[in-house]
Chain A
Amino acid sequence: DAGVIQSPRHEVTEMGQEVTLRCKPISGHDYLFWYRQTMMRGLELLIYFNNNVPIDDSGMPEDRFSAKMPNASFSTLKIQPSEPRDSAVYFCASREQGLGTDTQYFGPGTRLTVL
């Protein structure tokens, strides 16, 4: 299996622009998670999905952030408009449902820089 795939790996944009980050989870995994990693706040869970349905979005910082999962093999995290304080590494992770399968598998991340 190719693992969790994220694109792009790096994104540089200007303040006010729309940014879309993409994630392809491991095939057969029912859960998908979006995290943000910064020096100041560490690794934060933004939102997670189960069977393509958002379950908990309490970590989404504000309305400028939105996430979708139109099907089992694709999810997006959108920031509109972007701000310099959104600069961070964004990770996507997936896992299987069920007991004993609690491991989350992380993608390589997207490093976002907002100028």
Chain B
Amino acid sequence: AQSVTQLGSHVSVSEGALVLLRCNYSSSVPPYLFWYVQYPNQGLQLLLKYTSAATLVKGINGFEAEFKKSETSFHLTKPSAHMSDAAEYFCAVGPRGSYKLIFGSGTRLLVRP
């Protein structure tokens, strides 16, 4: 069965620092991969997705993620954190041939002034 693991339930960075949120997946076939963001009291919003085109995917708000098959990873990065980036981030895997999404447990990003 496919699964996704997010390392670190909480990540704290200073404003202006690099953001790195980790995601590893388990799948025999490279799946579709997604990062969603959830702001307080809101639904999930798509940040970016990998669907087997370019391995470096650029998303909204300056975020990007790189698909690394050898490491089964899809880590999310942003060069410089803003206060407005404080939210919960979810990595999700979408098995090919399935319409389901399997979500990780989420990482809460805290941005310190």
Contact = CB atoms under 8 A, between A and B. Distances in A.
**A and B part of one assembly:** yes
A91 B44 contact: yes
Contact of B99 (A31, A42, A105): A31
Which residue of A4, A55, A106, A111 has the most chain B CB atoms within 10 A of its CB atom?
Answer: A106
Contact count band on B: 20 to 34
B72 interface: no
B99 A48 contact: yes
Chain A binding surface, main DSSP class:
strand
Nearest to B32: A102
Contacts of A50: 99
Contacts of A4: 43
Interface string B13-53: 00000000000000000001010100001111110010100
Given A42-B105, A42-B106, A102-B94, A56 B100 contact: yes
Contact of B45 (A106, A109, A111): A106
B6 to A, nearest CB: 10
Contacts, number: 46
B63 interface: no
B103 A42 contact: yes
B43 A109 contact: yes
A4 B46 CA distance: 14
B90 interface: yes
Given A43-B106, A56-B100, A103-B46, 5 more contacts: A43-B90, A45-B101, A55-B99, A102-B49, A108-B43
Interface of A: 4, 31, 33, 42-43, 45, 48, 50, 55-56, 91, 93, 95, 100, 102-109, 111
7 contacts: A4-B43, A42-B104, A43-B90, A43-B106, A45-B101, A91-B43, A91-B44
